[in-house]
Copies of this chain bind each other. A is one copy, B any other.
Amino acid sequence: MQQQIAVITLGIAELERSKHFYCTGFGWQPVFENHEIVFYQMNGLVLGTWLKNALDADTGRASQPAGAFALAHNVARQADVEPLMQQLLAAGGQLLRAALAPPHGGYCGYVADPDGHAWEIAWNPAWAIDAEGRVTFSL
């Protein structure tokens, strides 16, 4: 069985507010959008942002906005963490935890997107990132 995740779909309340965060905060470009969903082509998988009512109908349950999960975007240099966090806050994000240097190394903080989904912005010098954004675990 492939160790493969094809899509991460986040439930959102408003398309435009979410798109502003991802396009202006992260600077990403959609690969597709319509009246209820925006897709972004990522590093070997697809990120979808879909109206929460539609996602709930599709999965068959009522979900909670701030779920027990976090996504991470890794940057190449420690000095990149705080400017990106500031850019995300300026684009409608909410600060969850200021950046700090955890005991196991690196430097990272958390910003929630406008729908409450947690994004860790991390510098992790041990984990290689290739030119296409693919990330490899290492100790």
Contact = CB atoms under 8 A, between A and B. Distances in A.
Interface of A: 1-12, 26-29, 31-32, 39-47, 52, 55-56, 58-61, 63-74, 84, 96-97, 110, 115, 117-118, 120, 122, 124, 127, 129, 132-137, 139
Given A3-B133, A59-B96, A133-B44, A67 B70 contact: no
Given A8-B69, A41-B137, 5 more contacts: A1-B28, A8-B72, A9-B69, A61-B96, A63-B66
Contact of A8 (B66, B71, B129): B71
A69 B137 contact: no
Given A59-B110, A67-B69, A69-B69, A4 B96 contact: no
Given A44-B133, A44-B135, A4 B60 contact: no
A46 B124 CA distance: 13
Nearest to A1: B27
Contact of A3 (B43, B67, B118): B43
A5 B68 contact: no
Contacts of A110: 58-60
